[in-house]
Chain A
């Protein structure tokens, strides 16, 4: 009896993930039919060049959503890191590493503030991160006086854009390494288990001896660091800072995480599904760019596709 239960439980966890990956593959094939050449080496490589930034940002978003929260400061953290890095580095090799370390320190502070608001002040995560995000946006604008300047150093640019092993660029390589780490973290460590426990039921997690404040703080700090890292690597890709950087990343990351099967209320899901969610978002984006679609068309198509996929994801839960 127990064996059957555990087997059906495993099926329940694996099936949604298989579905999402199937959805991604189908979408890629459809994209290739609509626009032959979509699956050509060049285009796949160009998708990989951009996928890392959303992918890395989604690591944080996945962890935060798993605890039952949501991070709306992510987009502003990426922007802050991107603009700050461009101006601080300003093409100087020697500034690259100190700038990176400085950004990480700022990220830790932002993560601590978010964690403190959510855990100690019991402010809903959505509102708390909205507030810190708004403040970060103001700080970014103050720092660059409304017009970002500076540019990336040569080493950062070449690290992010260079081809490694003949098929993958540096940004994507960082993303892949981090993905493996976060999947291991979620599935095989006490910390990973704590995240699920806190997201399922905070009270019972506390009574079963889980370090609840520690989990909250760690999750928000990781989320901020991932966003900061994404913004920093993004600078290598774009070469200079822009105020429009990552403006859609709050929405995109939430959509990717939820399409990937993570429950928006927390407690179930994981990063393996998110990877497919990120893939789906990037396929849609890339296809629309290839088709030279207007901005309004992009938004309508993206929104409608998200709705369709979510009806598939959530509609299934309905029947159970």
Chain B
């Protein structure tokens, strides 16, 4: 019992300091969130208003879910550039399938998740059987599936029934999106930290050979991680579609960069073997608050790009300088 509560693979003493270091890194990211909140509250009266906070939360649930998918693959030592294409494909598919008849809603949801799983499976096969680097394999599948999305719908069009999109993004007095986020966070946290699969992901990311020789199936772990990423991206796409209320073949483009950024700012190493579910949440909040604040202050979106880049470098520099000690 005792054993399962601590990170494994390392001797006990080493273990504790490692655990402490990981926690302190995550705490640092949260400290950064608090600083951001204080800065935001001081610079705009409109920030700490219920309506704005609701907005902040329900506009970032999609990014949070994509980030969780990306988390699995990055912890594994890979990277998934195809999440954006998954989001686009699922978006245009569901918008095409959904009519006013509620029976089609479930069908579209299932179809979307299946799409995500299939794309994840293809990525996994290319990496495992095709012996490709994850970045290259997903680069290629991203090109293909953006093409597929454009084939299904060449210009932004279509719309969702308003009661459906309202329920998902604003239902039960705005508790539905929060519930979605909480449930998915719990599931992902449990998968990563309390299951064999999660541990295999960490082990393969830390040292593939060592993982293989300690009896972990590297092939299976990689396939499952890519499929999880695809499925989570698809679930995110369902939320994003409800939020956007319409179809757009390019809707997923920005999520590739943002999901990688949030996972890394959340304390993960691109080399694999190290990541944090709780850190991801903080990172999504940081990015969300920055965007929200810039919008509130009426700053041109052109500055937003510049500031995003600069803040990203700053955050990474801080976390890099800490982890070197």
Q: A residues engaging B (CB < 8 A)?
A: 70, 117, 121-124, 126-128, 130-139, 141-142, 145-146, 251, 254-255, 258, 264-265, 294-304, 306-307, 310-311, 314-315, 317-318
Contacts and interface: CB of A to CB of B under 8 A. Distances in A.
A117 B313 contact: yes
B264 A310 contact: no
A128 B130 contact: no
Contacts of B257: 130, 134
Contacts of B305: 134-135, 137-139, 141
B150 A295 contact: yes
Contacts of B132: 310-311, 314
Contacts of B309: 131-136, 138
Nearest to B270: A124
A134 B131 contact: no
Interface stretch (B56-64, B141-149, B177-185, B193-201): B141-149
A135 B40 CA distance: 21
A299 B144 contact: yes
Chain A residues touching B, majority SS: helix
B139 A255 contact: yes
A73 to B, nearest CB: 9
B147 A297 contact: yes
B157 to A, nearest CB: 15
Interface residues of B, number: 47
A312 B303 CA distance: 44
A311 B308 contact: no
Interface stretch (B46-54, B103-111, B315-323): B315-323
A141 B301 CA distance: 9
Contacts of B131: 314-315, 317-318
B140 interface: yes
A303 B136 CA distance: 11
A254 B139 contact: yes
Grouping DSSP codes into helix (H, G, I), strand (E, B) and loop, the B interface class, with mixed when no group exceeds half, is helix
11 contacts: A121-B320, A122-B320, A124-B271, A134-B257, A138-B303, A142-B302, A294-B154, A300-B148, A300-B151, A307-B130, A310-B132
Contacts of A70: 135
A310 B130 contact: yes
Contact of A127 (B135, B144, B145, B312): B312
A136 B305 CA distance: 8
A146 B302 contact: yes
Contacts of B260: 126-127, 130
B61 to A, nearest CB: 23
A264 B133 contact: yes
B136 A135 contact: no
Nearest to B301: A141
Contacts of B146: 299
Interface string B292-312: 000000001111111111101
Contacts of B313: 117, 121, 123, 128, 131-132
B126 interface: yes
Nearest to A132: B309
A94 to B, nearest CB: 29
